[in-house]
Chain A
Amino acid sequence: MTSGIRFDGVTVTYGSNTVLDSLDLTVEPGEAMALLGPSGSGKTTALRAVAGFVRPASGRVLIGDRDVTALPPYKRGIGMVVQQYALFPHLKVEANVAFGLKAQKVPKGEIPGRVAEALEMTGMAAYAQRHPRELSGGQQQRVAIARALAIRPRVLLLDEPLSALDAQLRSGMLAELARLHRELPDVSILYVTHDQVEALTLADRIAVMDRARLQDCGTPQDLYRRPRTEFTASFVGNANLLPVTVGAGGVSFEGVSLDVPVSEALPGAGATLCVRPHLVGLGPGPNALSGRIAEVQWRGSTHRLYVEVGGHRVKADVRELRETPPLGAEVTLHFAPDDAVLLSAGVGND
């Protein structure tokens, strides 16, 4: 049986409100796809359409080769993990994990082995006899993952699974999820998150969503280094977006001529130059821009500088400075030509 998920023009509406606008997206068998976007971008709706909790107004959802658009959730063969764990409070950990197996009438003799296997996989075997309320948030989430894996789903849906955990636990769980993904090469994973770090760490590909639409889709490296839209550039990695003009003589920003790669023939008018803050350096160099310090934030190992360059704020993340420049000080920033990406204006901004 093949896994994989396909959205085929899926539109979901609530009344007159379109929350998901004709989504076309394919998650390959065994692939981990992150749906990344701010709240209200439609990412959770897309996941719920796969689970069967929302019915698309139009379009089809396929799991493997099967059209599941009209199937009730319990016939879809999916594993799902949500932000609030949703463990059954009246059942012990063991019974929680066995729930799906019993519901699907898996032969009785097989159940204990599969429960143990799932608990082993998430490192929760020692807690089988506890009730969910006796576990910490991270442990509960592990049980929830074990419960979803016990039914050996073809597709695993993760809806902001780490959002309720504190930062330290989150990075640990992130590593665990990455390990599970490696150990389960046949399971397709759809991972909904608003956190770019989670998406960049876990996903084979990232689908960036905004305002009910798919904005961009590609590998993490691809999206980070060569974003195709302004939204992707700013949402993934919080890039500087500088309005530039492209003329015969090259690209210029605020009257300063810049040396950046112009990949395709762009119209003579406006374009946006995208530069990551951590690739902007302080001091003279290629593509030098001078401006005044508007704000300085100390972030431990780095300083984030906001520099006013001709009416635009340029963000620069530099290694921790010995001496913080005073506000209003005149400074020069620079960036390497290869670190900039030129976006034609208006893409993804409809």
Chain B
Amino acid sequence: MLVHSRTGRWTAWALFAVLFVPLFALPLLVILAASFSTHWSGAFPSGPTAAHYTAAVRGESLQALTTSLITAVTASVIALTVGTWAALAAAALGKKGRRVLDALFMLPVAVPSVVVGLAVLVAFSQPPMLLNGTRWIVILAHTVLVTAFAHQSVSAAIRRLDPMYEQAAASLGARPSYVLLRVKLPLLLPSLNAAAGLCFALSMGELSATMMLYPPDWTPLPVLIFTATDRGSLFTGSALAVVLMAATLLALLAVSRIRTRASYR
């Protein structure tokens, strides 16, 4: 630790507690407490129950969870493929081309996601590209939203990648496709992995664009949480939120385990 004096260390911890607990920990603890209760009229919740959870892992709720998972995984895989491809292409383009491509890919981040949702809705509601009413419009919107992050983190990693590896491989007689497959992608794996986790987490929590697009048979979990709390079922909504949180955390944990195994330096 960089702070050496005892009082300094205590002050640092106290500051951390003051900032972290109310901002990050408390709201989550409140949701966790609410998900196990039936009433909350005083300072603390009352009427402990696990009924919300029995409801949250079956029927409509379970359907929503799998919908969210499938959407997030599909969107992440597409985003990662497209983002990596674009980042590799940009690196070969030179300075000007790279800047243009970077700006293009950052666009969905700069534009509010509601606008992205509306844009996708308007664009794909007419033949020949009629996706409205299918699950694909949701997946497409998520892909558009998360590709920016995939592209950004992968292109940062490519810029950090020492060109000497590529050159050493080329001098050994490896053609560019072989170098990409056997040297560049393996060396980029830790960053690809981190980008995948980021994309997945973002997609799991996406609500605003999804709200404008989801068909009745493809309701992701965040939408279900929103409608539940909108109806006034705060405690049911809390249980669903905890399930969403747990599922996302578990997936991220699994991804990060792969990452530690894949990092070499």
Q: How far is B191's CA from A168's CA once the two chains are assembled, in angstroms?
A: 38
The answer to whether A80 and B168 have CB atoms under 8 Å apart is: yes
Q: Which residues from A are CB-within-8-Å of B40? A: none
How far, in Å, is A154 (CB) from chain B's closest CB?
12
Contacts of B170 in A (CB 8 A): 52-53, 72-74
B residues 81-114 near A (Cβ < 8 Å) are none
Assuming the A-B contacts A99-B169, A133-B264, are A74 and B187 also in contact, with contact meaning beta carbons closer than 8 angstroms in the complex? Answer: no
- Bound together, the chains give a CA A82 to CA B166 distance in angstroms of 13
Contact with B along A89-111 (1 / 0, CB 8 A): 11000000001100110000000
Alpha-carbon distance between A75 and B170 when the two chains are bound, in angstroms: 9
The smallest beta-carbon distance between A188 and chain B, in angstroms, is: 15
Set of chain B residues within 8 Å of A87, measured between Cβ atoms: 168
Task: Say yes or no: A100 contacts B165, CB within 8 Å.
Answer: no
Nearest-neighbor residue (CB-CB) of B187 within chain A:
A90
Nearest chain A residue, comparing its CB with the CB of B183: A88
For the complex, is A84 an interface residue (Cβ under 8 Å from B)?
yes
* Interface residue B131 (Cβ < 8 Å from any Cβ of A): no
Q: A86 at the A/B interface (Cβ < 8 Å)?
A: yes
Residues of B within 8 A of A147 (CB): 172
Q: B18-64: which residues lie under 8 A (CB-CB) from chain A? A: none
Q: Shortest Cβ distance from A105 into chain B, in angstroms?
A: 9
Kindly state whether residue A23 has any CB partner on chain B within 8 Å. no
The reply to whether A90 and B264 form a contact with Cβ atoms under 8 Å apart is yes
Residues of B within 8 A of A148 (CB): 171-172
Checking B162, B178, B186, B189 against A103 with a beta-carbon cut-off of 8 angstroms, the contacting residue is B178
Given A86-B168, A131-B264, A133-B264, does the pair A74, B186 have CB atoms closer than 8 Å?
no
The yes or no answer to B174 lying at the interface (CB within 8 A) is yes
A157 cross-chain contacts in B, Cβ below 8 A: 171
- Does chain A have a CB within 8 A of B265? yes
Q: Does A200 contact B (CB under 8 A)?
A: no
Interface residue? B182 (CB, 8 A): yes
- Which among B164, B171, B187, B265 is the interface contact of A79 at CB below 8 angstroms? B171
14 pairs from A and B in contact (CB 8 Å cutoff): A75-B173, A76-B171, A80-B167, A80-B168, A82-B164, A82-B167, A84-B164, A87-B168, A88-B169, A89-B264, A103-B173, A103-B178, A104-B172, A157-B171
The 10 A-B residue pairs whose C-beta atoms are closest, nearest first, are: A100-B172, A103-B174, A80-B171, A73-B170, A86-B168, A89-B264, A104-B173, A86-B164, A90-B186, A74-B170
